[in-house]
């Protein structure tokens, strides 16, 4: 077993390094043993999965192909319907797909589901642990008042509850004896300057809201956002986060702005963005300002059949330059969308 233990007032937190300790059931060996013990002793377990649905994507092990949505540049995710039949869905435009029995590219049979969602965890618990009374709470099982009511009634009798971040705050009068947080670092790979803060806040909410035994499983257990959330040391997290933002010139040490452009024709999108980029460079030089700027595709390159590209501007004070550019370069009339206080760079 490979974990670090943090003892806090009403709870013990076990931070498991999943690179060192993964059992056959897909859980860490610590969580695996804990779930079996709790089930034996008829105690309550809560498992927090990082994603809803069954699997986040399919991948062909032979050729590396990942089926994507016809209209959006994201992998098709897979969910179980109420009859436990698997179907594909695009999380952006909601188009439905049939699961792929063979790879659409190489026709091979080694196309498999990856990325464990709450429904997959439910299946694992039934298969590997023989758990019977499982309640799953995610944005689909809880998308109406009536469904939420039904779930609340079912919670006290459940042996195991599987939930997404919807359960970061516990329902009233419900207190599990053990909580397992899966993939605590899931948000860290998002290329956004706020991702550390979001992961820290999300994990802290869970850890601070529950008591008893909390097992946090992570592939990046040494990352400050994970360790500080477990230890409850907000000051240390703030200190490292400030240093990171200062080093990279992110807010509050600089101002950011994002100019977004969308077009159904990819070539037209490129030409238009490149033209504006050149104009902005020219204006920057002419005004004697030294705004840092770069053009980059956003995290999702195509949505609803439209290609998207960003120009990111970064400097201590970019507002006067933006106002000038907005007017002189007729950005509004040319369908550029400006976010002057971007919450995120993706
Ligand atoms: Zn789509
Ligand atoms: Zn293939």
Question: Tens digit of pLDDT for each residue in 16-29?
Answer: 999 988 888 889 99
**Ligand 1 ion: Cβ-proximal residues, 5 Å cutoff:** 69, 71-72, 90, 92-93
The domains found in the chain, sorted by start residue, are 3-53+117-244 (3.40.50.300), 255-339 (3.30.70.100)
Cα-to-centroid distance, 203 and ligand 1 (Å): 29
Percentage of the chain surpassing pLDDT 90? 77
- CB-CB contact of 172 with 207 (8 Å): no
pLDDT at 40 over 80: yes
Structure tokens, 216: 């946090």
With cut-offs at 50, 70 and 90, classify the pLDDT of residue 156: confident
Q: Report CA(63)–ligand 2 centroid distance (Å).
A: 4
Quote the pLDDT of residue 25: 82
Q: Kindly give the distance from the C-alpha atom of residue 89 to the centroid of ligand 1, in angstroms, as a whole number.
A: 8
Average pLDDT over residues 226-246: 96
What does the pLDDT read at residue 121?
95
CA of 74 to the centre of ligand 2 (A): 18
Find the 49 Cα to ligand 2 centroid distance in Å: 28
Q: Is pLDDT above 90 for 205?
A: yes
Q: Is the pTM of this model over 0.85?
A: yes
Tell me the CA–centroid distance for residue 100 and ligand 2, in Å.
11
Q: Give the pLDDT mean for 177-191.
A: 92
CA 106–ligand 2 middle distance (angstroms):
4
According to the model, what pLDDT value does residue 1 have?
A: 62
Q: Using one digit for the tens of pLDDT, what is the confidence trace for 74-83?
A: 999 999 998 9
């Amino acid at each position: 077993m490979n974990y670090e233990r943090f003892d806090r007032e009403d709870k013990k937190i076990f931070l498991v390094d999943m690179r060192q300790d993964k059992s056959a059931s897909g859980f860490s060996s610590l969580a695996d043993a804990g779930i079996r013990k709790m089930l034996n002793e008829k105690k309550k377990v809560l498992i927090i999965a990082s994603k809803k649905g069954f699997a986040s994507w399919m991948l062909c092990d032979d050729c590396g192909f990942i089926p994507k949505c016809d209209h959006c540049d994201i992998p098709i995710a897979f969910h179980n319907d109420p009859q436990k039949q698997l179907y594909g869905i695009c999380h952006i435009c909601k188009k439905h797909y049939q699961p792929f029995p063979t790879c659409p590219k190489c026709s091979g049979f080694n196309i498999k589901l990856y990325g464990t969602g709450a429904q997959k965890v439910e299946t694992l618990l039934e298969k590997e642990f023989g758990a019977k009374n499982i309640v799953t709470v995610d944005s689909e099982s809880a998308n109406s008042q009536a469904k939420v009511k039904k779930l609340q009634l079912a919670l006290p009798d459940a042996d195991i509850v599987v939930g997404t971040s919807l359960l970061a705050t516990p329902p009233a009068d419900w207190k599990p004896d053990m909580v397992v947080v899966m993939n605590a670092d899931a948000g860290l790979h998002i290329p956004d300057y706020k991702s550390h803060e979001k992961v820290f806040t999300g994990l802290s909410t869970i850890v601070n809201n529950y008591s008893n035994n909390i097992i946090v499983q992570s592939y990046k257990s040494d990352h400050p956002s994970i360790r500080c959330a477990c230890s409850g040391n907000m000051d240390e997290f703030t200190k490292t986060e400030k240093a990171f933002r200062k080093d990279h010139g992110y807010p509050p040490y600089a101002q950011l702005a994002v100019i977004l452009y969308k077009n159904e024709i990819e070539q037209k999108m490129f030409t238009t963005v490149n033209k504006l980029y050149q104009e902005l460079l020219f204006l920057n030089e002419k005004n004697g300002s030294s705004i840092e700027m770069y053009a980059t595709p956003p995290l999702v390159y195509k949505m609803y059949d439209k290609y998207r590209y960003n120009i990111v501007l970064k400097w201590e004070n970019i507002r006067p330059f933006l106002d000038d550019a907005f007017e002189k370069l007729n950005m509004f009339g040319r369908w550029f969308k400006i976010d002057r206080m971007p919450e995120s760079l993706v």
